[in-house]
Amino acid sequence: MTKLEKVDFTIETLDRLYPEIPIPLDHKDPYTLLIAVLLSAQSTDIRVNQITPLLFAKADNPSEMIKLSVEEIRDIIRPVGLSPMKSKGIHGLSHILLNEHDGQVPESFEALEALPAVGHKTASVVMSQAFGVPAFPIDTHIHRLLYRWGFSSGKNVVQSEKDAKRLFPKSLWNKLHLQIIWYGREYSPARGWDLDRDIITKNIGRASVIAKYYKLKKR
């Protein structure tokens, strides 16, 4: 297959498997999405979705959040990990939203990435899922699959994002990044990987990756 044919095969397969794709993190508005994405760093969506209802029952907007102390926030979110940093970030960004953005989540990468504890990936998710702005957030699943499929060198997430944006049509980015996340979880995980179930990698994957898989399987 040519690179273009591989891209087309990937898009067609993902559309067939995931014609409708849910957003993994439970939320009701841009603010609760921002907090959920921030909490998901080095955690799982399942764990975050267990904790956010407890946090949002006490504070689901910046005005209510700043009434909580950093320690109170930390106690609630402790199970998701990195709670000292995340609690300070949540409290700090809530103050900034009130003081500089009329309590609203800003609709720009620059303003989002200026908030405490908000990096490029978090900003990309919010811009994509809350505001519909084309973005291609790269998580561990996407980073892994772009390498397995031969679409990126796997050097780092910055390069993976550039490669994904270069290869896939901009109009598909917001849907496609979610489809790849779900595909990675269900068909091409890091652990317990079964190439026979991994339709895309089996058909278009990097030859060295496939060879390594069968070599390890023989052991």
Residues noted as catalytic? 121, 139
| Interior angle at CA 147, CA 191 and CA 159, nearest 5 | 125
Nearest to 93 by CA among 134, 128, 122: 122
Asked whether 101 and 111 are in contact (CB, 8 A), the reply is yes
Q: Environment class of residue 132 by beta-carbon count within 10 Å: exposed (0-12), middle (13-18) or buried (19+)?
A: exposed
Q: Environment class of residue 85 by beta-carbon count within 10 Å: exposed (0-12), middle (13-18) or buried (19+)?
A: middle
